[in-house]
Amino acid sequence: MHEFVITATRSMKDYASRVVEHVAKFPSFIPLGNTIDGVGILKLSCFADGEMEMEVTSSIRGKDVVLFTSCARNEANIGVTEAKIELYHAVDALKRCQARNIIVFEPFVSCSRSDRTIRRSSVGLWVHFKILASLGTKHIVTYQLHSDKSKSMVDPTICVLDDIPALNLLKQYLCDVYIQNIEALEKAVRPNWAFCSVDAGGEKLARDFANAFGAPLVVAHKQRDYSKVNTIRSINILSAEPIEGKVLWIVDDMVDTGGSVENLVRALAAFKPAEINIIAVHAILSPPASQRLNRLSEEGLVRHIMVTDTVYCPYSIPEKIPGLEVVPSAELSAKVINAIITNSSMRKILRIFDAELYLRSPKLLFNQPNS
């Protein structure tokens, strides 16, 4: 196994450091003396006119490099455009320093919604992947892309793409915090819970949750007003069972401005469920999302909002949004790196989540790195 380095652009240095802490616990790395903490090896210089240059301050010749980055809201408070340019400079610098393999780990790809080829517009996701591959990236890792078709935008003969199902993190969190045992799953969850999609396109995500927990599925079919951005014209609710008295969990891959989910919550409230909750992987939370979610909470329409930290969530955000719970993903990222660096199977990471199996099996089975 080759030596490897974990580093980061300014946008994810703290996150990468947490990943390093988890990787360092894996016994497969300790006796080999591999270099794992290279979070500070990238040095950025900015010119007076706004141009930049990236320098690698330590030798990485012949090593595999895992580069963490984020172009969404981030801990360094860098804008989308600047973060992308810094990422491209970092990959170029690593390639010029003869890194053996460059693995870009971008937990949330901010341009993932720009994936349509049917309009007279650029395709931002394709542009992003194309640049990374052209600069020498050999492997891109991310969590929960916006659509399955996005995976076909990367030529696997040039660059490999792994889209990790981060919704499994949230399913496991539901089991650990809200269910805890088989009896609760059978007597409370299955007869009283239901999982709801945000729209028809998100039915697959909600169905995955419904199947994992053996609970009913509710599908929301929304009609957009395409003459305006982020505008919903109407919502129809489809359900095979009565919604009244149910604990509803709205499932989506991301929450951006919160407009869609606010409209859906108000439409669902008319059916008199016991409570409404929100589950999403990526907490983009562009304005006025905080105000909308806070309003829903104050009105008693939403109780829990569960997200991951694939997009940076400063401490001020949970204070503004009652009921917001941020599930950490650094340990999962460490397991993914372990599998890639050791050429191990990702079977445990990619497997379909079954709540009953998880609750019946020792947690150790799911928490150990891949063998």
**Better-scored residue on pLDDT, 12 or 32:** 12
Predicted confidence (pLDDT) per residue in 326-344, tens digit: 999 999 999 999 999 989 9
Predicted confidence (pLDDT) per residue in 130-152, tens digit: 999 999 999 999 999 988 888 88
pLDDT at 367 over 70: no
pLDDT at 25 over 90: no
Side chain identity at 257, as an amino acid letter? T
- Where are the chain's structural domains? 4-165+330-351, 167-327
Q: What is the pLDDT of residue 365?
A: 45
Topology alike, domains 4-165+330-351 and 167-327: yes
pLDDT at 97 over 90: yes
- Mean pLDDT of the chain, nearest integer: 90
Q: Which of 113-122, 317-326, 333-342 has the lowest mean pLDDT?
A: 113-122
Contacts of 201 (CB under 8 A, 6+ apart): none
Q: Which fold is adopted by the domain 4-165+330-351?
A: Rossmann fold (3.40.50)
Q: What is the pLDDT of residue 226?
A: 46
Which residue in this structure is represented by tokens 């870009």? 104
**Better-scored residue on pLDDT, 33 or 319:** 319
Q: What is the pLDDT of residue 225?
A: 54
Q: Is 122 exposed, middle or buried (0-12, 13-18, 19+ CB in 10 A)?
A: exposed
Q: What is the secondary structure of 45-63 as a DSSP string?
A: EE-TTS-EEEEE-S--TT-
Q: Which fold is adopted by the domain 167-327?
A: Rossmann fold (3.40.50)
Dihedral of the alpha carbons of 112, 113, 117, 122, in degrees to the nearest 10 = -80
pLDDT at 369 over 60: no
